[in-house]
Amino acid sequence: MATDSAMKWYVVRAIGGQENKVQSYIETEISRLGLSDFVSQVIVPKEKVVQIKDGKKIHKEKVYFPGYIMVEANLSGEVPHVIKSITGVIGFLGETKGGEPVPMRKSEVNRMLGKVDELSVQDENVAIPFDIGETVKVVDGPFNGFDGTIEKVNEEKRKLEVMVKIFGRKTPLELSYMQVEKI
């Protein structure tokens, strides 16, 4: 029975585009061979991306580090050979030819796992949710309650120029994405 102290994180290189498949191959093979005590987690770091398609928000997951899979394992005995022999696995990262796989530093692991967590709660404003010519309602600021038409979209600053009718006159306002909502 392996102790947790012997568990370290390693990076397995996989054929790009097949990360999820390789992840499940590793998990299946490890449990089939009864080596679950030696491999505790197999993670494909992903980020959540929101795309706007036909006016609808579509949540998608994108692999964050294409071609890399994180494995928390105690690489003793047959474990490294088992993992290397799995379809789609190229090998371990950081190994010299024929040498030992190099474990990741704790700081790297936390950064990558932190990244995974951070990304799952990240703000959904990944794709631009607004189009020029669209009518929006101002929901924040001094012009709260007014309707306006989007004239310009500034992606970098996450700002919109909205033309609002105030006392019968059209007035351009610069508003952030959070200050307006679709009608």
Q: Find out whether 138 and 161 touch, Cβ atoms under 8 Å.
A: no
pTM for this model (two decimals): 0.57
Q: Express as a percent the part of the chain with pLDDT over 70.
A: 87
The confidence score (pLDDT) of residue 1 equals 46
The confidence score (pLDDT) of residue 111 equals 76
In this prediction, residues 38-58 reach a mean pLDDT of 85
Task: Dihedral sign for Cα 72, 102, 119, 24, please.
Answer: negative
**Pairwise CA distance, residues 10 & 72, whole Å:** 6
Q: What is the largest CA-CA distance in the chain?
A: 79
Q: Where are the domains of the chain?
A: 4-121, 135-182
Q: Which strand (E) or helix (H) includes residue 113?
A: helix 106-121
Q: Dump pLDDT digits (tens) for 30-46.
A: 999 999 999 999 999 88
> How far does Cα 154 stand from its chain's mean position?
24
Q: Dump pLDDT digits (tens) for 135-175.
A: 999 998 888 899 999 999 887 777 899 999 888 889 899 98
> Model confidence at 125, in pLDDT bands (50, 70, 90)?
very low
CATH code of the region 135-182: 2.30.30.30
CATH code of the region 4-121: 3.30.70.940
Only one residue has tokens 């191959």, namely 25
**Pairwise CA distance, residues 156 & 177, whole Å:** 11
